[in-house]
Amino acid sequence: MQRMHPYAPWIILLLVILLARGFYLTPVLLLLMPAGGAYLLYQGLQVWRGEGSRFSARRETYWRGRRIELPARREAGLPALRSIGPALPYLISGGVIMLIALGTLFG
């Protein structure tokens, strides 16, 4: 299981504070919510792709007795749907925060 991002508890705390205040948003929070939601969506996509983890899928090969690390092969399009499990909390919370922010802006 992957560890949460170091800023995730602060983002969750911000969401709890917003829910406790009854969605009365100051202009600063109105700007921070879409940024936080976009950041969570970006982190969810990184987790879904498997990038930036300690156990990355780097290939290694040996040539004349030396080990050579090659970057992982990049596939076109979205990653496999069966590997979305660890990314779901990031994607769902980021999507909800983005929808709340858009609803507040245009509602």
Cα gap 72→39, rounded to integer Å: 24
The per-residue pLDDT for 91 is 92
Residue 1 lies in a domain: no
Residue 42 lies in a domain: yes
3-class DSSP assignment, residue 50:
coil
In the chain, how many domains are there? 1
> What angle do the packed helices 88-106 and 8-20 form, to 10 degrees?
40
Residue 51 lies in a domain: yes
Cα gap 6→35, rounded to integer Å: 17
Domain assignment of residue 28, given as a range: 8-106
Count of CB atoms situated within 10 Å of the CB of 66: 7
Q: Which pLDDT tens digits describe the chain residue by residue (107 residues)?
A: 466 667 777 777 777 776 666 656 677 777 788 888 999 899 888 888 876 555 556 677 888 888 888 876 666 667 778 878 888 989 999 999 888 888 877 77
Q: What is the CA radius of gyration of the chain?
A: 18
Cα gap 24→26, rounded to integer Å: 7
